[in-house]
Amino acid sequence: MHVDRGRRGRVAAAVLALALTATASLASFTNAQPALDLFDEAVFALTVQYGGFADPPPAERAPGLRTALATVCDARPDACTVDAGARAIRALISELDDAHTAYIAPDGYDGLVRRLVEPSGADGFGWVLAEDPSDGALVVARVFDHGPAHEAGLRRGDRLLDLNGTPLPSGDAGRDRLARAARDEDAATALLTVRRDGVVLPTVSATPGPFDPLPTLRMLEERVGWIEIPTFARLDTVGSAVHDRVRAATDAGARALILDVRGNPGGFVHEALVAAGAFLARPARRVEARSGPSDWWFEDGVLSIRTGDGPAFPQLEVTDPVRFDGPVAVLIDARSASSAEFFALDLRDHAAATVVGERSFGVADTVTTFVGLSNGGGLQITTGRVRTADGAAYPPHVVPDVPVSGPATPVPVASDEALREAIRSLR
């Protein structure tokens, strides 16, 4: 394996310099320079995590901005605020000209991570919620099999009105209240007032508890299997679970399959690759970073990775892999992102799948991560670029073969026009 020792040395020196800067900052904490502390924290995260192709990289751009910020802090200690540090972070990131690296303020970071990174909502009810754009009311978008919401009889399209006898606020305020209820050990059962198809149901009791947002299978008419994949962010589980669901569908007599990644915010690149292996002989892609490229592929039940010209290393094995060769459709929407986009493109380009729905979210050319900061805000950081196996760029969005606009709010399965269109495409 070829190693660029010069680059490695420069990066190591930059990390060491930042570590010394952080140490100096901690030693002078009594000087109360929160702007510099926050800026140093962000620069350290960018130096360690950034894998984009901005030239020069963040570590080489930061010293000038830090010097200017330190001058302000020395001259006017009252101006050396966290907000000043945040402005300096934004200035640094704007110089990168990288659309997928950003500073996110505290009032938006928590909600963004909850919606994009934690599709289950992490609140113990086992559902995904959406908001009615007309009034922000919370509506059930997905119910995970065998989770608390499923056991309580909740369905997609149910509108949540009250929690424990009190009107449920709209938007993030309502989500936060539900999350607190899920963590309240003194009130184990939540009493929900729900409107379904315009009718208010009797009070629904839901007891928060453990659940796992893994793919689910339902058999539809015309021997079509419908597999919903809510996330690829479950390490070493989602890809193999897709193989299990495909096997169950074929055992049930499925002649065609619908893979539903609507609302799927992505997750681990390799999980989507393993899942695609249930339909392709050797799905593969390349991840390019400043440190060099790595090749990933799934073949004969084994996920392997090779860095540069080095040897291949097995990373994961699916004990009983399957290969489905019947007709396939993939459902996407405007919230399908990252690994969900790679998955849809793999199946369309190499398994002749028909993609149905809306244009995807649009980070199909990058791998990104989120890093929280001490002020409650955070960073979205490009860690690399994902390419096809031969190094070609992925498109910025997945554009469906059969466009179908999604409803403004989640609807019951019987009224799901995109699902109906996917079934028609498989005839």
Residue 149 maps to which CATH number? 2.30.42.10
Query: What is the model's pLDDT at position 103?
Result: 97
**Contact between 324 and 244 (Cβ < 8 Å):** no
pLDDT grade for 364, boundaries at 50, 70 and 90: low
Which is more confident, 421 or 291?
Answer: 421
* 58 and 169 part of one domain: no
- What pLDDT does 129 receive? 87
What average pLDDT is seen over the chain?
Answer: 86
Q: Residue 54 — φ and ψ, nearest 5°?
A: -65, 135
When pLDDT is averaged across residues 222-247 and rounded to a whole number, the result is: 93
Average pLDDT for 23-44? 71
d(CA 317, CA 274): 9
Look at residue 384 in the predicted model and tell me its pLDDT.
86
What number is the average pLDDT over the span 350-374?
88
Q: Report the distance separating Cα 169 and Cα 128, nearest Å.
A: 17
Among residues 187, 206, 225, which one ends one of the domains? 206
Model confidence pLDDT, tens digit, residues 192-209: 999 999 999 999 999 888
Structural domain includes residue 87: yes
Could you list the residue range(s) of the whole structural domain that residue 144 is in? 120-206
Domain-embedded: residue 103: no
Question: Is 223 in the same domain as 335?
Answer: yes
- 13 part of a folded domain: yes
Task: Mark whether 353 and 305 lie in a shared domain.
Answer: yes
CATH classification at residue 364: 3.90.226.10
- Whether residues 34 and 140 share a domain: the answer is no
Predicted confidence (pLDDT) at residue 29 exceeds the cutoff of 50: no
Q: Please give the pLDDT value at position 183.
A: 76
Return the pLDDT at 114: 58
For 316-357, the pLDDT digits (tens) are 999 999 999 999 999 999 989 989 999 999 999 999 999 999
Same domain, 287 and 146: no
Q: What is the pLDDT of residue 267?
A: 85
**What is the separation of C-alpha 295 from the centre of its chain, rounded to a whole number of angstroms?**
22
pLDDT at 111: 67
61 has pLDDT over 90: yes
Cα–Cα distance for residue pair 70/73, rounded to 1 Å: 5
pLDDT at 402: 97
Residues 6+ apart with CB under 8 A from 99: none
**Pairwise CA distance, residues 271 & 18, whole Å:** 34
Query: Does residue 405 lie in a domain region?
Result: yes
Q: Which of 173, 206, 239 is the last residue of a domain?
A: 206
Write down the pLDDT at residue 3.
24
Using 50, 70 and 90 to split pLDDT, how confident is the model at 407? confident
- Give the range among 23-27, 41-45, 182-186, 269-273 with minimum mean pLDDT: 23-27
Q: What pLDDT is recorded for position 121?
A: 40
d(CA 202, CA 65): 60
> Of 185, 206, 227, at which residue does a domain stop?
206
The answer to whether residues 143 and 277 belong to one domain is no
Tens-place pLDDT, residues 123-158: 488 888 888 888 889 999 888 888 899 999 999 899
Let me know whether 127 and 93 are in one domain.
no
Q: What is the pLDDT of residue 126?
A: 87
**Rounded to the nearest 5°, which phi and psi values hold at 4?**
-80, 90
Q: Is the pLDDT of residue 273 over 70?
A: yes
For residue 336, tell me if it sits in a domain. Answer: yes
Over residues 15-27, the pLDDT tens digits come to 222 322 333 333 3
| CA–CA separation, 205 and 162 (whole Å) | 12
